[in-house]
Structures are given as C-alpha cells and as structure tokens.
Amino acid sequence: AAMAAVVADTENENGESTKFVIGMQRPSTRSYWKIPLLNRGMAPVKSEDEELEPMIARCVNEKKTLTATFSYEVLKLTDVVVSDV
C-alpha cells in the first residue's frame, strides 16, 4: 500500500497527476480485508510514516489515482508491474 500510494501521489511540474495505480492483492484468508479498506481511502497497514494514511486517503478520494482489486485481470491493463512482497 505504501509503494502504491507514493506512485499514485506523483505529480508533474504543473501539479497534475501522472500515474493511475491499481493495487492487486490475492484474496487469501490472511489479506482479503485489505482491498475494501484501501478502496475506502484507509491504510491497510500501520506505518511509522505519519503521511501514509493521509496520502492514501488523498489518492483514493480526491485525486482518484489509486484503487485496488482481487482480480488478476487488471494485469492486462498495466504498463508497469511492481511486485511488493
């Protein structure tokens, strides 16, 4: 979520968003709850970085540059894939 938010928050020199990020999480019993949480603009992980939660909220709710899904089909839409383990 942190890496996705950082990329989704990037802007060009004119202050315009330059990326649209789709997070993809397999729907396992350990992590199925992360997708709906992130899609409401809430951080699915705890971080010492106090900016993470507001950044996720901003990207999901205001900038509309971040979303997440369980569907592997989104991989067909990508220009770049980043795997964060």
Could you report the per-residue pLDDT of 23-70, keeping only the tens digit for each? Answer: 999 889 998 899 999 999 999 988 999 999 999 999 999 999 999 999
Q: What is the pTM of this model?
A: 0.90
66 domain-assigned: yes
Quick check: is 71 in a domain? yes
Is residue 51, in this structure, part of any structural domain at all?
Answer: yes
**Does 83 score more than 90 pLDDT?**
no
Smallest CA-to-CA distance from 57 within 31, 32, 39 is with: 39
Q: Is residue 82 part of a domain?
A: no
Enclosing domain of residue 17: 2-77
24 occurs within a structural domain: yes
Please report whether residue 83 resides in a domain.
Answer: no
Q: What is the pLDDT of residue 12?
A: 97
Instruction: Specify the number of domains making up the chain.
Output: 1
Is the pLDDT at 19 greater than 90? The verdict is yes
What's residue 58's pLDDT? 98
Tell me what pLDDT residue 45 has. Answer: 87
Residue 58 lies in a domain: yes
Backbone CA torsion sign across 69, 78, 64, 10: positive
